[in-house]
Amino acid sequence: MVKKGKKTDNVPIDNGGAQRRIQSNGRYLLAFIIGTLVFILGFVITYSVSYFQYDRISDFQDITSYSIFSDKLGYEIFNKDICSFNNFKEISEGLGYQGRVIDDLERRLGKDNKDVLFRKRFYTLVELEHLEFINKMNKECKRSIPTILFFYSNEENDLSTSEDAGKLLDTLSSRHRELIIYSFDVNLDSELIDNLKDEYEVYKTPFAVVNQESKIIDFTDIKKFEDVLGESDAPVSKNVIRL
């Protein structure tokens, strides 16, 4: 007896579904590659801009520092008349620009970046040299250029308060054409900062010392500063040296 073979159904193979899955996976892979390239490109551009800014601030700091130290040697060693120097406004504006660039670098590269920290420490040194120059000019030339030492913190819990204080000082600066504001980060690992905090008994932030005498911790009322500085005058330029 001949056995009949088992009848089998011919099941068609769905090649179309497999192709669609391959195409879908290909699109995901392509999207991943493009996204990765965009991320890398963005990182490179950001780093390049930050490096350019750092290189520029380095050169600019050297030029500004040279001007300050050159003037200082001029009247201390070569007996030039300090009252004849009239570039302190330009130097003040240059320092203000440096402060803004360092602030931007700090956001881009991180506040713990060693290169940014070095520039920040050097900036503090230049600020104090400039302050000494202004103090000597006030004394010997019978000038009354007003100054504010502004102590702030850029720690996360203090950042908002410090920024609000900075806005008040910006407004104050616009009302007093010769006002120079020197800003110091109390958290900066620097012996100069430690000495300043001890000298002016800085116990909180924000903290201001007007004309190196009057201490103000209330930044909610601009009148407290106006009472010390006197009447406003017509603004010429904003000499805000702030980080």
pLDDT digits (tens, 9 = 90+) for 2-12: 445 555 455 55
Is 1 domain-assigned? no
Is 216 domain-assigned? yes
Does residue 35 or residue 193 have the better pLDDT? 193
Is 71 domain-assigned? yes
Please tell me the predicted confidence (pLDDT) of residue 240.
Answer: 46
pLDDT per position as a tens digit, 13-52: 555 555 655 555 556 556 656 666 565 555 445 545 555 6
User: Residue 115 pLDDT more than 50?
Assistant: yes
Please tell me the predicted confidence (pLDDT) of residue 212.
Answer: 92
Is 21 domain-assigned? no
Please tell me the predicted confidence (pLDDT) of residue 192.
Answer: 94
pLDDT per position as a tens digit, 64-93: 777 777 877 777 787 888 888 776 777 777
The structural domain count of the chain equals 1
Q: How far apart are CA 30 and CA 146, in angstroms?
A: 61
Mean of the per-residue pLDDT values for the chain?
A: 77
Element (H, E) at 97: helix 88-109
- What is the share, in percent, of the chain residues with pLDDT greater than 90? 32
Here the CATH number for the domain that contains residue 36 is 3.40.30.10
pLDDT per position as a tens digit, 96-111: 777 777 888 888 888 8
Is 117 domain-assigned? yes
Is 97 domain-assigned? yes
The first and second tokens of residue 183, run together, are 């800003």
Does residue 38 or residue 167 have the better pLDDT? 167
Give the domain range for residue 163. 27-241
The first and second tokens of residue 60, run together, are 């600019």
Is 44 domain-assigned? yes
Please tell me the predicted confidence (pLDDT) of residue 195.
Answer: 96
User: Mean pLDDT, to the nearest integer, of 125-138?
Assistant: 90
User: Mean pLDDT, to the nearest integer, of 200-209?
Assistant: 95
Please tell me the predicted confidence (pLDDT) of residue 135.
Answer: 92
Distances (CA, A) of 198 to 150, 170, 192, 195: 14, 26, 10, 5
Listed in order, strand segments (DSSP E) in 42-173 are: 147-152
Is 16 domain-assigned? no
The first and second tokens of residue 19, run together, are 């192709």
Please tell me the predicted confidence (pLDDT) of residue 241.
Answer: 44
Please tell me the predicted confidence (pLDDT) of residue 242.
Answer: 43
Whose CA is closest to 243, among 97, 60, 122?
Answer: 97
